[in-house]
Amino acid sequence: MSTIFSKIIAGKIPARIAYEDDQCLAFHDIQPKAPVHVLIIPKKEIERISASTEQDQPLLGHLLFVAQKIAEEQGLKESGFRLVINNGPDAGESVAHLHVHLLGGRALAWPPG
Long-range contacts of 49-54 (CB under 8 A, 24+ apart): 49/85, 49/87, 49/98, 50/87, 50/88, 51/98, 52/98
Q: How many CB atoms lie within 10 A of CB 13?
A: 12
Please state, in angstroms and rounded to a whole number, the distance separating the CA atoms of residues 45 and 42. 7
From the candidates 28, 62, 99, 101, give the one annotated as an active-site residue. 99
What radius of gyration do the chain's Cα atoms show?
13
Look up 101 and say whether it is catalytic. no
Active-site residue list:
99
